[in-house]
Amino acid sequence: MLIEQIYLGCLSQASYVVADEASGRAVVVDPRRDVEEYLRFAAERRLRIELVVLTHVHADFVPGHSELEAATGAEVAMGEAAPVEFPVRRLADGERIALGEPDGGVVLEAWATPGHTPESITLAVFEHGGDQVPKALLTGDTLFVGDVGRPDLLGSAGRSPEQMAAELYRSLRSRILPLPDDVVVYPGHGAGSACGKALSSETFSTLGQQRISNYALAPTSEERFVEVVTQGLAEPPAYFSQDVALNRGGHRPFEADRALPRIGATEAVRRAADGALLLDVRDDQSFAAGHLLGAVDVGLSGRFAEYAAAVHRPGQDVVVFGSEDEVAEGRLRLARVGIDSVSAVVTDISCLASEPDLVRTSSRLDARSVAGRLEDTDDLVVLDVRNPGEIASGALPRWLNIPLPRLLGRLDEIDPGRPVIVYCAGGYRSIAAASLLEASGFADVSDLIGGFSAWQSATELAPAG
């Protein structure tokens, strides 16, 4: 039996290759869209990828089932309740997938475990077909390390979060918790994912460890479980609805090798003025020192894909600015969340020196300077782009909270004629938000260098309480 976890840190997403090494037959579970790593792994181990299983309709990324199907001819499978419009093999509850000899080889068994979404399944992995207890569970978004899947996302088919949480309670109690402590739990996501609220940084665990440490598995009534699991949920990123629609309808394989037109600064600025997203993928310091007029900065160093999706309107044309390597990486990571509308790139960064009329710099203020602006500027807007749960640690005076994933849809709540200071926890999200405001016509925008952490460190400036 072989179970290989392939973890993508920038999306906190785990996919798996499960195989019977004797037969060489393999299944890939919840692959990401760039599938070369699965193909390389299979070739190195002399495996044949025969099946791709999606545990549910994903909201946070676009899986690579179409890409693997095109590359290997593998069949695509989901739970029998999957609300998708493309051909799939529908796995019945309890259906077994033999990868080796029926009584001796590795077997997967599909279990219907609704709760995160109605069609969610868990894959039980048996080392031998005759075993009564699985060695491992691939739990998708049903059970995480330290948490369970959110019951309030966009695949609930008219059910309320409370109804979905009740289904999740029953799935956990009837299918997963009766198993022995040594069963290994392999989840679909880790810390940082918006598909849960308290995920651990550990990417796998055992059921026994989760009984002890996972708040959602504590002995409790269904009513209390529903209350606990549905409280304190942050609003999901706006792009989730777009990915759900794409993942229900199906997508064409991503063409990573397709060459894109290279354009100059003048054309890039013109396209931005005409409504394209001119996305600068360099780091915040490089962007602040000089960027093209109308550009929005989301650096590759952080959670690029989800924040780039947050500043992108559905169907909006995208022009990517950066070095050759940065542009290639940015385009790939955009595709992982379903943004295939990159129409051109700008890789000649020397244009920032040769065409100064098209270049702007960013206003960035340290904590002391922000304190001065708070004292001197009565109509100052202090925009906090953190998530609501982060504000418990404190906030600047006179703050307005609009989380970055919601800012694009709420720009009309801010007067573009008033000066704005933007801050987040450490500075990554704030320059993305500040640049989005500038590109949207706001005339006086600055961001707080180092974010709220820098504000707190300047103890003499920190607000009382």
Within 13 Å of residue 412, how many CA atoms lie on the same side as its CB?
Answer: 1
CA distance 337 to 319: 16
Does 349 lie in the same domain as 386?
Answer: no
**Around Cβ 325, how many Cβ atoms within 10 Å?**
10
CA distance 422 to 62: 31
pLDDT of residue 103: 66
Does 224 lie in the same domain as 353?
Answer: no
Does residue 384 contact residue 414 with C-beta atoms inside 8 Å?
A: no
Torsion of CA 264, 282, 403, 408, to 10 degrees: 10
Does 113 lie in the same domain as 24?
Answer: yes
Q: Which residues pair with 447 in a beta bridge?
A: 364, 422
How many domains in the chain? 3
Decide which of 249, 280, 306 is a domain's last residue: 249
Lookup result for tokens 């989005």: 436
pLDDT of residue 285: 95
β pairing state of 420-423 and 381-384: parallel
Note whether residue 338 is domain-resident: yes
Does residue 153 contact residue 242 with C-beta atoms inside 8 Å?
A: no
CATH code, 426: 3.40.250.10
Residues belonging to the active site: 424
Does 142 lie in the same domain as 227?
Answer: yes
- Residue 193 Rama label (left phi>0; alpha psi -120 to 50; beta): beta
**Around Cβ 243, how many Cβ atoms within 10 Å?**
24
Does residue 22 contact residue 100 with C-beta atoms inside 8 Å?
A: yes
CA distance 329 to 302: 13
Does residue 278 contact residue 439 with C-beta atoms inside 8 Å?
A: yes
- For 167, counting Cβ atoms within 10 Å of its Cβ (0-12 exposed, 13-18 middle, 19+ buried), the class is buried
pLDDT of residue 236: 83
Decide which of 327, 360, 393 is a domain's last residue: 360
SS3 356: helix
Does 232 lie in the same domain as 285?
Answer: no
All residues at 6 or more sequence positions from 12 whose CB lies less than 8 Å from its CB, including other chains: 189, 190, 191, 192, 193, 199
SS3 395: coil
State the alpha helices, DSSP H only, in 36-194. 36-44, 65-72, 161-171
**What does each C-alpha distance from 448 to 314, 363, 428, 436 come to in angstroms?**
29, 9, 10, 15
CA distance 156 to 152: 7
Does 144 lie in the same domain as 55?
Answer: yes
SS3 279: strand
Range of the domain at 408: 363-457
In 3D space, the residue among 184, 23, 183, 16 whose CA is nearest the CA of residue 102 turns out to be 23
Decide which of 360, 392, 412 is a domain's last residue: 360
CA distance 252 to 419: 44
Does residue 435 contact residue 396 with C-beta atoms inside 8 Å?
A: no
Does 226 lie in the same domain as 105?
Answer: yes
CA distance 324 to 88: 38
Torsion of CA 397, 403, 407, 413, to 10 degrees: -40
Please tell me the pTM assigned to this model.
0.92
Does 404 lie in the same domain as 384?
Answer: yes
Does residue 124 contact residue 139 with C-beta atoms inside 8 Å?
A: no
Q: Which residues pair with 138 in a beta bridge?
A: 123, 186
Digitized pLDDT (tens) for each residue of the chain, 465 residues in all: 999 999 999 999 999 999 999 999 999 999 999 999 999 999 999 999 999 999 999 999 999 999 999 999 999 999 999 999 999 999 999 999 999 976 679 999 999 999 999 999 999 999 998 899 999 999 999 999 999 999 998 766 678 999 999 999 999 999 999 999 999 999 999 998 988 888 999 999 999 999 999 999 999 999 999 999 999 887 788 899 999 999 999 999 998 888 899 999 999 999 999 999 999 999 999 999 999 999 999 999 888 999 999 999 999 999 999 999 999 999 999 999 999 999 999 999 999 999 999 999 999 999 999 999 999 999 999 999 998 888 888 999 999 999 999 999 999 999 999 999 999 999 999 999 999 999 999 999 999 999 999 999 885 544 443
pLDDT of residue 462: 47
**Around Cβ 74, how many Cβ atoms within 10 Å?**
21
Does 133 lie in the same domain as 53?
Answer: yes
**What does each C-alpha distance from 67 to 12, 43, 277 come to in angstroms?**
21, 16, 26
Note whether residue 199 is domain-resident: yes
Which structure tokens are listed for 113? 């475990």
Name residue 114's amino acid. P
Lookup result for tokens 């369970």: 148
pLDDT of residue 460: 56
In 3D space, the residue among 318, 369, 360 whose CA is nearest the CA of residue 339 turns out to be 318
CA distance 443 to 381: 13
pLDDT of residue 155: 66
Does 320 lie in the same domain as 422?
Answer: no
